[in-house]
Amino acid sequence: MGSHSPLFYDSPLAVQSAAGVWLTSMDGVTYLDGYNNVPHVGHCHPYVVEAVHEQARQLNIHTRYLNDRVLDYAEQLLTTVDQPLARLALTNSGSEANELALRIARQHTGHTGVLVTDFSYHGNTTSLAELTTGLPVREPLGAHVRALTIPDMDHESEGEEAVLARSLALVDTAIASLQQAGHGVSALLFYPLFSTEGLPRLPKGYVTMVVDRVRSAGGLVIADEVQAGFGRVGTSMWGHQLFDMVPDFVTLGRPMGNGHPLGGVITTTNLLDEFGSNNLYFNTFAGNPVSAAAGLAVLKVMNAEQLLDNADTTGGLLRGKLTELAGRYDFISAAKGQGLFTGLEFVDPTTGAPAPAIAKQVVEGMLARKVLISRIGRNDNMLKIRPPIPFNRQHVEILTDRLADCLTHL
């Protein structure tokens, strides 16, 4: 698989099994999972595993024949979004989902320009590499791409109104620049939690006002929910529902099938019909009944175990404890996030500069204490705490106790 296959930790962890929020390493040690969002309703959730198995024994076929399972899934999933979102196209990954949304947006608008944020990643294909700003790729940023800086009130000395005005002026400049260069605006593509960017605390109204500007320029809006979606934010099923807006596309991936390769695009009837009438879009694996069974089982478990409420309650509890810790150490500047996606930001206490070395030390220190977390943010100075969503009060205690111990011993 090659010497550059990316791995976590100074000494990578070899895993043999997992269940719920726990992983067991090859040497038999058990770790609390405070990091993984793909096993969304818990590692190897028995209900999901058995639903997939039952369907795999019966039928696994593409969508050029009819099968009920995929229609059941589409119907159930579409009840969670707001009008006019009403259609689902399935894919095998978030990369394929963003590719499809961008193809539809470009064709519909007749424009090629794309607005992204200045520290983001939306997939691993050529055209997604051309709009990647948050990790190393050899492809230069596309001439048709402009990257927005997202304001974070935790890093501002000015008030909300001034920050908002300045941030929206950046959007206007980016749009004008795309228009002057002849690209126009086809789409804004963003993570509703701005998680790779560092979970910023946004000035009130920011997202809605950006969306209005994009639409005034003739562009469409893509909410990439591979990080924030499926109830992680706690107060709603989708991250974009935190804001007063409905996107034209919701793109789906990671948590969707609890580890089964499954992604998709939710969009409007008009947009999908228009695309379908001009293109034969077929995705061999996507929409097979086994993938649909995985997706259905995730929705069922979320409902049966009230995991959306749990993400809200447990996330609040976790952030409360992290805020307490933040108050104790001058090198912690803020506890950030929403629901069960939480960050803890480290700075140099003297200069206030980002302190990625501390974050790295804590991630490794937590591994030594048998808790898995990681880092995010443009300066890599923020803990990334994003566990499977059945994470509960007891798991919060374990994580924060060990984190307190780790911070004491830095």
Q: Is 30 an interacting residue with respect to its own copies (CB under 8 A)?
A: no
Report how far residue 55's alpha carbon sits from residue 39's, in angstroms, rounded to the nearest whole number: 19
Site for its own copies in 364-403 (CB under 8 A): none
Find how far residue 367's CA is from the centre of its chain. Answer: 23
Report how far residue 350's alpha carbon sits from residue 138's, in angstroms, rounded to the nearest whole number: 36
Residue 355: closest CA among 335, 331, 373, 372: 331
Site for its own copies in 200-259 (CB under 8 A): 253-254, 258-259
Residue 211, Ramachandran bin (φ over 0: left; ψ between -120 and 50: alpha; else beta): alpha
Choosing from 177, 269, 306, 394, the residue that interacts with its own copies (CB under 8 A) is 269
Site for its own copies in 112-131 (CB under 8 A): 124-127, 129
Q: Is 80 an interacting residue with respect to its own copies (CB under 8 A)?
A: no
Give the DSSP per-residue string, 140-181: PPPTTEEEEPPP-GGG-SS-HHHHHHHHHHHHHHHHHHHHHT
Q: Is 21 an interacting residue with respect to its own copies (CB under 8 A)?
A: no
Residues 6 or more apart in contact with residue 263 via CB below 8 angstroms: 90, 91, 92, 93, 94, 95, 96, 97, 226, 251, 252, 253, 256, 286
Q: Is 12 an interacting residue with respect to its own copies (CB under 8 A)?
A: yes
- Token pair for residue 309? 């409420």
- Token pair for residue 162? 């001034």
Which stretch in 92-100, 201-209, 355-363, 388-396 sits in contact with its own copies by CB under 8 A? 92-100
Site for its own copies in 34-73 (CB under 8 A): 36, 38-39, 43-44, 46, 49, 52-53, 56-68, 70-71
To which residue do tokens 């506890």 refer?
A: 335
Q: Which is nearer to its own copies, 258 or 333 (CB)?
A: 258
Report how far residue 398's alpha carbon sits from residue 388's, in angstroms, rounded to the nearest whole number: 15
Choosing from 72, 87, 375, 379, the residue that interacts with its own copies (CB under 8 A) is 87
Residues 6 or more apart in contact with residue 352 via CB below 8 angstroms: 333
3-state SS assignment for residue 87: strand
Query: What's the length of the chain?
Result: 410
Choosing from 32, 85, 88, 193, the residue that interacts with its own copies (CB under 8 A) is 88
Residue 211 Cβ vs its own copies, minimum distance, rounded to whole Å: 23
Choosing from 32, 34, 93, 296, the residue that interacts with its own copies (CB under 8 A) is 93
- Angle of the 46-58 helix axis to the 289-304 helix axis, nearest 10: 150
Q: Which is nearer to its own copies, 17 or 173 (CB)?
A: 17
Binding-site size for its own copies (CB under 8 A) equals 93
Choosing from 32, 80, 95, 144, the residue that interacts with its own copies (CB under 8 A) is 95
Site for its own copies in 300-329 (CB under 8 A): none
Q: Which is nearer to its own copies, 173 or 269 (CB)?
A: 269
Tell me the per-residue interface mask from 134 to 173 with its own copies, x by CB under 8 A, - otherwise. Answer: -xxxxx----------------------------------
3-state SS assignment for residue 41: coil
Choosing from 175, 228, 252, 286, the residue that interacts with its own copies (CB under 8 A) is 286
